[in-house]
Amino acid sequence: MMKKILTLLAVAALFGCAGPAPAPKADIVMENILSRKSVRSYTDQKLTEEQINTLLRAAMAAPSGSNIQPWSFVVLTDASEYDAIFPGNFNLDKFKQAAAVFVLCADTTVTRTPRGGGEPVVRPNGTWRDDMGAVTENLLLAAESLGLGAVWTASYPYKDRYLPPKQALGLPDTVIPYSIVPVGYPAGDEQPKDKWDPARVHYGRW
Ligand SMILES: Cc1cc2nc3c(=O)[nH]c(=O)nc-3n(C[C@H](O)[C@H](O)[C@H](O)COP(=O)(O)O)c2cc1C
Protein backbone atom coordinates (compact mmCIF):
# COMPACT_ATOMS: atom_id res chain seq x y z
CA MET A 1 0.00 0.00 0.00
CA MET A 2 2.76 2.41 1.06
CA LYS A 3 4.70 1.62 -2.11
CA LYS A 4 1.59 2.41 -4.18
CA ILE A 5 1.13 5.82 -2.49
CA LEU A 6 4.80 6.69 -2.99
CA THR A 7 4.60 5.72 -6.67
CA LEU A 8 1.46 7.84 -7.12
CA LEU A 9 3.16 10.84 -5.45
CA ALA A 10 6.24 10.44 -7.64
CA VAL A 11 4.11 10.32 -10.79
CA ALA A 12 2.07 13.33 -9.65
CA ALA A 13 5.27 15.31 -9.01
CA LEU A 14 6.66 14.27 -12.39
CA PHE A 15 3.60 15.53 -14.26
CA GLY A 16 3.20 18.68 -12.19
CA CYS A 17 0.05 17.52 -10.39
CA ALA A 18 1.52 18.05 -6.92
CA GLY A 19 0.59 21.76 -6.94
CA PRO A 20 0.99 24.74 -9.22
CA ALA A 21 4.36 24.81 -10.93
CA PRO A 22 6.34 27.90 -9.91
CA ALA A 23 6.17 30.58 -12.61
CA PRO A 24 9.47 31.27 -14.32
CA LYS A 25 11.34 34.21 -12.72
CA ALA A 26 10.90 36.50 -15.73
CA ASP A 27 7.11 36.02 -15.59
CA ILE A 28 6.99 36.91 -11.91
CA VAL A 29 9.09 40.03 -12.42
CA MET A 30 7.11 41.19 -15.48
CA GLU A 31 3.81 40.55 -13.70
CA ASN A 32 5.02 42.66 -10.77
CA ILE A 33 6.27 45.55 -12.94
CA LEU A 34 3.20 45.60 -15.19
CA SER A 35 0.69 45.44 -12.34
CA ARG A 36 2.16 48.33 -10.32
CA LYS A 37 -0.06 51.38 -10.22
CA SER A 38 -0.40 54.48 -8.08
CA VAL A 39 -2.82 53.84 -5.23
CA ARG A 40 -4.02 56.94 -3.39
CA SER A 41 -6.66 55.68 -0.92
CA TYR A 42 -6.26 53.04 1.75
CA THR A 43 -8.24 51.02 4.29
CA ASP A 44 -7.63 51.21 8.05
CA GLN A 45 -5.55 48.03 8.07
CA LYS A 46 -2.07 48.44 9.57
CA LEU A 47 1.16 47.03 8.18
CA THR A 48 3.18 44.45 10.06
CA GLU A 49 6.79 45.07 11.03
CA GLU A 50 7.72 42.29 8.61
CA GLN A 51 5.97 44.06 5.73
CA ILE A 52 7.70 47.33 6.57
CA ASN A 53 11.07 45.57 6.67
CA THR A 54 10.38 43.87 3.34
CA LEU A 55 9.66 47.24 1.75
CA LEU A 56 12.86 48.72 3.20
CA ARG A 57 14.91 45.71 2.11
CA ALA A 58 13.62 46.10 -1.46
CA ALA A 59 14.32 49.83 -1.41
CA MET A 60 17.89 49.33 -0.21
CA ALA A 61 18.54 46.77 -2.96
CA ALA A 62 18.47 49.59 -5.54
CA PRO A 63 21.49 50.37 -7.69
CA SER A 64 23.42 53.59 -7.02
CA GLY A 65 26.26 55.46 -8.66
CA SER A 66 29.58 54.04 -7.41
CA ASN A 67 27.43 52.04 -4.97
CA ILE A 68 27.37 55.06 -2.66
CA GLN A 69 23.85 54.22 -1.41
CA PRO A 70 22.96 57.80 -0.43
CA TRP A 71 19.62 56.78 1.09
CA SER A 72 18.09 56.78 4.55
CA PHE A 73 14.47 56.30 5.52
CA VAL A 74 12.13 57.82 8.06
CA VAL A 75 9.11 55.55 8.61
CA LEU A 76 6.04 57.27 10.05
CA THR A 77 2.87 55.64 11.35
CA ASP A 78 1.33 58.34 13.57
CA ALA A 79 -1.01 60.41 11.40
CA SER A 80 -1.63 62.89 14.22
CA GLU A 81 1.88 64.28 13.57
CA TYR A 82 1.49 64.85 9.84
CA ASP A 83 -0.03 68.35 9.94
CA ALA A 84 3.14 69.51 11.64
CA ILE A 85 5.54 67.50 9.44
CA PHE A 86 3.96 68.16 6.03
CA PRO A 87 2.15 71.53 6.33
CA GLY A 88 0.53 72.59 3.06
CA ASN A 89 1.51 69.41 1.20
CA PHE A 90 -1.36 68.64 -1.19
CA ASN A 91 -0.83 64.91 -0.60
CA LEU A 92 -1.51 65.26 3.13
CA ASP A 93 -4.88 63.48 2.98
CA LYS A 94 -3.19 60.45 1.41
CA PHE A 95 -0.51 60.41 4.11
CA LYS A 96 -3.16 60.51 6.83
CA GLN A 97 -5.07 57.57 5.34
CA ALA A 98 -1.99 55.42 4.80
CA ALA A 99 -0.87 52.76 7.26
CA ALA A 100 2.70 54.03 6.95
CA VAL A 101 4.47 56.91 5.27
CA PHE A 102 8.01 56.37 4.03
CA VAL A 103 10.14 59.50 3.76
CA LEU A 104 12.96 58.59 1.39
CA CYS A 105 15.94 60.75 2.26
CA ALA A 106 19.09 61.38 0.25
CA ASP A 107 22.51 62.52 1.36
CA THR A 108 23.52 64.93 -1.39
CA THR A 109 27.18 64.67 -0.48
CA VAL A 110 29.76 61.92 -0.29
CA THR A 111 32.61 61.79 2.17
CA ARG A 112 35.86 60.27 0.95
CA THR A 113 39.16 59.73 2.68
CA PRO A 114 41.96 60.62 0.23
CA ARG A 115 43.91 57.60 -1.04
CA GLY A 116 47.14 58.79 0.49
CA GLY A 117 45.39 59.39 3.83
CA GLY A 118 44.57 62.68 5.50
CA GLU A 119 41.36 64.47 6.40
CA PRO A 120 38.12 63.11 4.82
CA VAL A 121 36.86 65.30 1.98
CA VAL A 122 33.15 66.09 1.57
CA ARG A 123 31.99 66.71 -2.00
CA PRO A 124 28.67 66.72 -3.88
CA ASN A 125 27.34 63.33 -4.96
CA GLY A 126 26.54 63.70 -8.67
CA THR A 127 24.05 60.82 -8.90
CA TRP A 128 21.91 61.03 -5.78
CA ARG A 129 18.75 62.00 -7.66
CA ASP A 130 19.10 59.03 -10.03
CA ASP A 131 19.80 56.70 -7.11
CA MET A 132 16.74 57.91 -5.22
CA GLY A 133 14.49 57.35 -8.24
CA ALA A 134 15.59 53.73 -8.30
CA VAL A 135 15.00 53.38 -4.55
CA THR A 136 11.52 54.84 -4.81
CA GLU A 137 10.54 52.53 -7.67
CA ASN A 138 11.89 49.50 -5.80
CA LEU A 139 9.70 50.35 -2.83
CA LEU A 140 6.64 50.76 -5.06
CA LEU A 141 7.25 47.41 -6.74
CA ALA A 142 7.71 45.67 -3.40
CA ALA A 143 4.43 47.19 -2.15
CA GLU A 144 2.67 45.84 -5.24
CA SER A 145 4.16 42.39 -4.67
CA LEU A 146 2.78 42.37 -1.10
CA GLY A 147 -0.73 43.29 -2.27
CA LEU A 148 -0.31 46.80 -0.87
CA GLY A 149 -1.03 50.13 -2.50
CA ALA A 150 1.42 53.02 -2.68
CA VAL A 151 2.10 56.20 -4.60
CA TRP A 152 5.29 58.15 -5.27
CA THR A 153 4.72 61.71 -4.12
CA ALA A 154 7.20 64.39 -5.02
CA SER A 155 9.19 66.13 -2.33
CA TYR A 156 12.47 67.33 -3.90
CA PRO A 157 12.85 69.73 -5.80
CA TYR A 158 9.90 71.63 -4.30
CA LYS A 159 11.17 73.66 -1.35
CA ASP A 160 7.71 74.04 0.16
CA ARG A 161 7.46 70.21 0.26
CA TYR A 162 10.95 69.17 1.32
CA LEU A 163 12.01 71.89 3.75
CA PRO A 164 9.20 71.41 6.35
CA PRO A 165 9.78 67.62 6.78
CA LYS A 166 13.55 68.12 6.66
CA GLN A 167 13.29 70.40 9.66
CA ALA A 168 10.47 68.60 11.50
CA LEU A 169 12.17 65.20 11.24
CA GLY A 170 15.60 66.51 12.24
CA LEU A 171 17.48 65.54 9.07
CA PRO A 172 21.19 66.37 8.96
CA ASP A 173 22.26 69.43 6.91
CA THR A 174 23.27 67.54 3.78
CA VAL A 175 20.23 65.21 3.78
CA ILE A 176 17.04 65.99 1.83
CA PRO A 177 13.62 64.29 1.81
CA TYR A 178 13.58 63.23 -1.86
CA SER A 179 10.22 61.47 -2.12
CA ILE A 180 7.38 60.59 0.22
CA VAL A 181 5.55 57.29 -0.26
CA PRO A 182 2.31 56.53 1.60
CA VAL A 183 1.58 52.78 1.77
CA GLY A 184 -1.51 50.88 2.86
CA TYR A 185 -4.08 48.33 1.81
CA PRO A 186 -5.90 49.65 -1.28
CA ALA A 187 -9.41 50.96 -0.55
CA GLY A 188 -10.39 51.03 -4.23
CA ASP A 189 -9.72 49.01 -7.32
CA GLU A 190 -7.02 50.93 -9.17
CA GLN A 191 -5.78 49.25 -12.31
CA PRO A 192 -2.39 49.57 -13.99
CA LYS A 193 -2.17 51.74 -17.08
CA ASP A 194 -0.98 50.19 -20.32
CA LYS A 195 1.86 52.48 -21.37
CA TRP A 196 3.34 50.28 -24.10
CA ASP A 197 3.94 52.53 -27.10
CA PRO A 198 6.08 51.20 -29.95
CA ALA A 199 6.26 54.73 -31.44
CA ARG A 200 8.60 55.64 -28.55
CA VAL A 201 11.19 53.15 -29.73
CA HIS A 202 13.86 53.87 -32.34
CA TYR A 203 16.14 51.18 -33.63
CA GLY A 204 19.60 52.06 -34.85
CA ARG A 205 18.93 55.83 -34.87
CA TRP A 206 16.02 58.25 -34.15
C1 LIG B 1 8.56 62.15 -9.61
C2 LIG B 1 7.11 61.80 -9.38
C3 LIG B 1 6.35 62.61 -8.60
C4 LIG B 1 5.01 62.30 -8.34
N5 LIG B 1 4.30 63.09 -7.48
C6 LIG B 1 3.03 62.75 -7.17
C7 LIG B 1 2.33 63.48 -6.19
O8 LIG B 1 2.85 64.42 -5.59
N9 LIG B 1 1.06 63.09 -5.89
C10 LIG B 1 0.46 62.02 -6.51
O11 LIG B 1 -0.69 61.71 -6.20
N12 LIG B 1 1.11 61.29 -7.45
C13 LIG B 1 2.39 61.63 -7.79
N14 LIG B 1 3.10 60.86 -8.69
C15 LIG B 1 2.46 59.68 -9.31
C16 LIG B 1 2.12 59.92 -10.78
O17 LIG B 1 1.03 60.79 -10.88
C18 LIG B 1 1.82 58.55 -11.44
O19 LIG B 1 2.96 57.73 -11.37
C20 LIG B 1 1.41 58.71 -12.90
O21 LIG B 1 0.17 59.36 -13.00
C22 LIG B 1 1.32 57.36 -13.62
O23 LIG B 1 0.38 56.51 -12.98
P24 LIG B 1 0.80 55.07 -12.41
O25 LIG B 1 1.81 55.29 -11.31
O26 LIG B 1 -0.48 54.49 -11.89
O27 LIG B 1 1.39 54.28 -13.52
C28 LIG B 1 4.43 61.15 -8.94
C29 LIG B 1 5.21 60.33 -9.74
C30 LIG B 1 6.55 60.63 -9.94
C31 LIG B 1 7.41 59.69 -10.76
Distance of CA 155 to the CA centre of its chain: 15
Per-residue model confidence (pLDDT) at position 2: 54
Taking CA atoms only, the protein residue closest to ligand 1 atom 29 is: 152
Of 142, 177, 174, 141, which is closest to residue 156 (Cα–Cα)?
Answer: 177
Structural domain contains residue 198: no
Per-residue model confidence (pLDDT) at position 131: 98
Per-residue model confidence (pLDDT) at position 6: 53
Structural domain contains residue 46: yes
Residues 6+ apart with CB under 8 A from 55: 102, 139, 142, 143, 146, 183
Of 178, 143, 171, which is closest to residue 39 (Cα–Cα)?
Answer: 143
Atom of ligand 1 nearest to the CA of 140: 25
Structural domain contains residue 139: yes
Structural domain contains residue 48: yes
Per-residue model confidence (pLDDT) at position 10: 53
Q: How many domains does the chain have?
A: 1
* Ranges of the chain whose pLDDT falls below 70: 1-19
Atom of ligand 1 nearest to the CA of 192: 26
* CATH assignment at residue 59: 3.40.109.10
Instruction: Show the domain range for 44.
Output: 38-182
- Distance from Cα 179 to the centre of ligand 1, integer Å: 11
Structural domain contains residue 152: yes
Strand partners, 181: 102
Structural domain contains residue 14: no
Per-residue model confidence (pLDDT) at position 173: 97
- Distance from Cα 129 to the centre of ligand 1, integer Å: 16
